A = this chain, B = another copy of it.
Amino acid sequence: MINLRFVSIVIIRVVLSFLMKKYEELLVSLRQVIRAIDLYSKKLSKETGLTSPQLLVLLSIAEHDDAMVKEVAKTINLSSATITSIVDRLEKRGLVTRTRSTTDKRKVGISLTAQGKEIIKDSPKPLQDHFIARFESMQEWEQSQMLATMQRISTMMDAEDLDASPVLEVGQIDQH
């Protein structure tokens, strides 16, 4: 449903517009952040032999064993079709198994194999885990500041109106 790649490009551009006067400074920060994540993602791929989405799916299953396709899809914000194709590859490599539920034969549970668990165990933690300790030590006012910024952007996008009435055309955004 959501094309997150495009979304991220727009978000970055919006943030840049938002800070036109600080454009250069912010660009440096953003590039550094993106570069750090990109490099870390490559490191993960090299060490585990998995792509980023594959690792995300695997981690999601590790947290909730025997997860349904739909649950995984919702957790990491991808369509069921995408999860199916990623699980296909993971299954082919013997990292997960599919088991059709006996109580509801529409459902399919996905579980890690011993080999899958091994890979998870060896892989470095996802980038965000590394930062939580630091983030937790932040001041309350800094957290509030970030939230205020996001809400401000949301308001400017009329996103609230959109959400309130799903029927509303997006064209409305473009007027007035």
A residues contacting B by CB (< 8 A) are 1-11, 13-22, 25-26, 29-43, 52-53, 56, 76-77, 124-128, 130-132, 134-136, 138, 140, 142-154, 156-160, 162-163, 169-171, 173-174
Instruction: Give the complex CA separation of A35 and B53 in angstroms.
Output: 21
Q: Which of B19, B52, B150 contacts A29 (CB 8 A)?
A: B150
With A and B bound together, what is the CA distance between A138 and B160 in angstroms?
19
**Does the CB pair B170–A39 fall under 8 Å?**
yes
The winner among A1, A52, A169 for most chain B CB atoms within 10 A is A52
CB–CB A2/B162 < 8 A: no
Cα–Cα, bound, A56→B40 (Å)? 28
Residue of B nearest to A153 (CB): B33
